[in-house]
A and B are shown apart, each in its own frame.
Chain A
Amino acid sequence: MKFRILAFFFYILCMHAAVFAQVNSNASATIIRGISLSRITDLRFGAMISTETPGTVVINPFDSSRTAVGGVILIYSDIGPATFTIMGESNANFILTIPSSPINISVRDQSMVVDEWTSSPARGQAQIPSQGIMQLNIGGTLHVKANQAWGAYSGSFSVTVSYP
């Protein structure tokens, strides 16, 4: 009988140990750092001259270069992709959401379209490196109409990072 009681306590101790172990595994989940995104620079297509022929200007997020196709003349100026800092848990996967549809950038009653968004890293699932911090670059394509009116055009877009 004495032996059976001991065995019973042992059984209870084992259960408690099991519960405790489960609690510990939950505790490891609480130390995940929240993911944060902060903007460093805006997407800058820079200065250009329109002509009687439409054209496009592309900002490449990988090498930060600017290229033009068609009747748009590029002028030396401050250009580059939008850049951001992503901070989060080392090696954690996250989902990057960048614009998937065109936006208008405008001045006065004039507008131009920005679309074909590209990014480094690519949209969708990505991984935070072991340092817990990484840079995000976003580029796109600007459509300049024939004889596009002069002015400083701007518009807004949003970017989201989230844990899956």
Chain B
Amino acid sequence: MKHLFFSMVIGLLISSAVFAQSSTVNANASATILTGISCAKDGTFFTGGDLLFGTLIPSATAGTVTIAAQSDYATSRSISGGVTGIAYSSSNAYTKFGPAAFIITGEPSYAYSLTIPSSSISILNGANSMVVSNWTCSMTSGANTMPGSGTKAFEIGGKLAVGANQVAGYYTGEFSVTVNY
């Protein structure tokens, strides 16, 4: 009888163990689709988004023209050496000067990286050229975080080297900026 009672207790233990025989857990699966990041010239900016050094007069002495990376385009140009800058006149589009302006659009509050030119470029007029270097940017290049608005504007400046008796003409060249997550 004592043994029978013992085996009944055992039977209860076994049946209570059945309840812990299985365990189910829920988990989430997640993915985030980001707004694509893009960078475009700001066509509404004074310069139309391009870096413009304006109209310049060379001399027998070489000189440099520097455009600062700032939204106040009117005070952005500084000149040294034997170069004379012609003041901006609304009647002559070639006299416009100011920094390049861009707008980045992307995922709000998300990390991204901005790359600006690091080496010099040549701007050309036929066989003649000048060099633009010393690039500056109104924001930190490299790692950044997108503002909550999802847009970020910035300017880029640089330094133009004008040679002695630089040949007259319209000089143009290209540079690029890159943004990526």
Residues of chain A touching chain B, judged by Cβ–Cβ distance below 8 Å, are: 16, 19-20, 23, 26-27, 29-30, 32-39, 42-51, 57, 75-77, 82, 84, 103, 105, 112, 114, 138, 140, 142, 144, 148-163
- Nearest A-chain residue to B31, judged by Cβ: A45
Cα separation A82 to B10 with both chains bound (whole Å): 39
Q: Judge whether B75 is part of the interface by a CB distance below 8 angstroms.
A: no
Interface residues in B14-32 by Cβ distance below 8 A to A read: 14, 17, 19-32
Complex interface: chain B residues within 8 A of A82 (CB): 27, 29
Known: A35-B23, A156-B27. 6 other contacts (CB 8 A): A29-B14, A38-B25, A39-B27, A44-B30, A47-B181, A154-B30
Interface of A is mostly: strand
- Nearest A-chain residue to B7, judged by Cβ: A23
- Nearest A-chain residue to B4, judged by Cβ: A19
Q: Decide if B20 touches A150 in the complex (CB within 8 Å).
A: no
Residues of chain B touching chain A, judged by Cβ–Cβ distance below 8 Å, are: 3, 6-7, 10-11, 13-14, 17, 19-37, 107, 110, 181
Cα separation A155 to B26 with both chains bound (whole Å): 10
Q: Decide if B22 touches A156 in the complex (CB within 8 Å).
A: no
Q: What are 28 residue pairs bridging A and B, where the CB atoms are less than 8 Å apart in the complex?
A: A23-B6, A23-B7, A26-B11, A33-B20, A35-B21, A39-B27, A42-B30, A43-B29, A43-B30, A44-B30, A47-B34, A48-B32, A57-B31, A75-B181, A82-B27, A103-B29, A105-B31, A112-B31, A140-B29, A144-B31, A150-B35, A150-B107, A152-B30, A154-B31, A157-B28, A158-B24, A160-B25, A162-B22
Q: Decide if A159 touches B181 in the complex (CB within 8 Å).
A: no
Which one, A23, A49, A157, contacts B27 given CB within 8 A? A157
Q: Decide if B30 touches A159 in the complex (CB within 8 Å).
A: no
Complex interface: chain B residues within 8 A of A49 (CB): 33-37, 181
Complex interface: chain B residues within 8 A of A32 (CB): 17
Cα separation A35 to B39 with both chains bound (whole Å): 54
Q: Closest Cβ of chain B: how far from A140's Cβ, in Å?
A: 7
Q: Decide if A26 touches B7 in the complex (CB within 8 Å).
A: yes
- Nearest A-chain residue to B27, judged by Cβ: A82
Complex interface: chain A residues within 8 A of B28 (CB): 42-43, 154-157
Q: Decide if A47 touches B32 in the complex (CB within 8 Å).
A: yes
Q: Closest Cβ of chain B: how far from A152's Cβ, in Å?
A: 5
Which one, B23, B25, B34, B110, contacts A48 given CB within 8 A? B34
Q: Given A26-B14, A30-B10, A138 and B27 touching (CB < 8 A)? A: yes
Cα separation A7 to B146 with both chains bound (whole Å): 95
Complex interface: chain B residues within 8 A of A44 (CB): 30-31
Q: Closest Cβ of chain B: how far from A139's Cβ, in Å?
A: 10
Q: Given A23-B7, A26-B7, A46 and B33 touching (CB < 8 A)? A: no
The 10 closest A-B pairs by CB, nearest first: A34-B20, A162-B22, A45-B31, A42-B28, A37-B23, A30-B13, A43-B29, A160-B24, A154-B30, A75-B181
Q: Decide if A150 touches B30 in the complex (CB within 8 Å).
A: no
Cα separation A151 to B108 with both chains bound (whole Å): 11
Q: Decide if A50 touches B25 in the complex (CB within 8 Å).
A: no
Complex interface: chain A residues within 8 A of B29 (CB): 42-43, 45, 82, 103, 105, 114, 140, 142, 154-157
